[in-house]
Structure 1
Amino acid sequence: MNNVINLPPLVDRIVETVPGVRAAGLKNVTVNEPFFAGHFPGRPIMPGVLILETMVQVAQLAFPPSPGSGRAVPVPALTAIETARFRRPVVPGDQLRVEVEVLEGGKEGIRCLALAFVGPEKCAEATFSLGLNP
């Protein structure tokens, strides 16, 4: 999890990593998550922006370190969101599985497609870009 910019991470476990190609991770959504306090009282739903952030954190783990970059851990940051769709609420007790595929990549960054599932049901999808921090 050293390649994740934002801590604490929203990813509980990485289940697959093929650097530069794809990654998958799990988030066990519990009722004790701090964001549920206000989103929404009496009807807790994981905010869409945090589902997107979970996707970004999984994608950061698919970005291979650059040899000779002079950095211990080159961490890509979100630079653009092309599309984001939220198809079903994520609620306490759900296990969120995020699968990220690198669509394009180079020295400057990557473009990704991310899908999020609860069980077999797709709950969100997004296309976004990550770039290396200056």
Structure 2
Amino acid sequence: MAGPWKTRLAFARRAIDAEFGETFRVEPMRKSQYQGAVADPDRAPFTLEIAHLRNHGGEDDLGGAGSKSWSVLIAGGAAELHVDPDSYPLARTILKGDQIVALDRNSEPRFEVARLDRDQRNRLVFQLAFKS
């Protein structure tokens, strides 16, 4: 019974990807004893041609709810990357700590994978933390 549902879901994913997709470079990282995170020589960087980045950025108020003092507001950046695993099977190799670069954005922002959600029905979801 999964046949028609999977066919419709794949069609919807392709239509959404064609309209809203962006290009990202995935840079696999590993922990180094002396330098923190460094490029992982065992996993090659790769490009995701069509994925979706949802921003959740804003400001965090460290002074407590409603203080709005300029000295305690810091920029906070978080996002989610949604990837179709059928179109990009290499996305299944992305690990916590890997870096993602948004190539279609003006400043090419860099994110670090903070959390993975592989249990979604139709997409891999990566929660990202803003790096630069």
Query: TM-score by structure 2 length?
Result: 0.32
Which of these two proteins has the greater Rg computed from alpha carbons?
A: 2
Query: TM-score by structure 1 length?
Result: 0.31
Q: Which has the higher helix share?
A: 2
Higher relative contact order (CA 8 A, sep 6+): 1
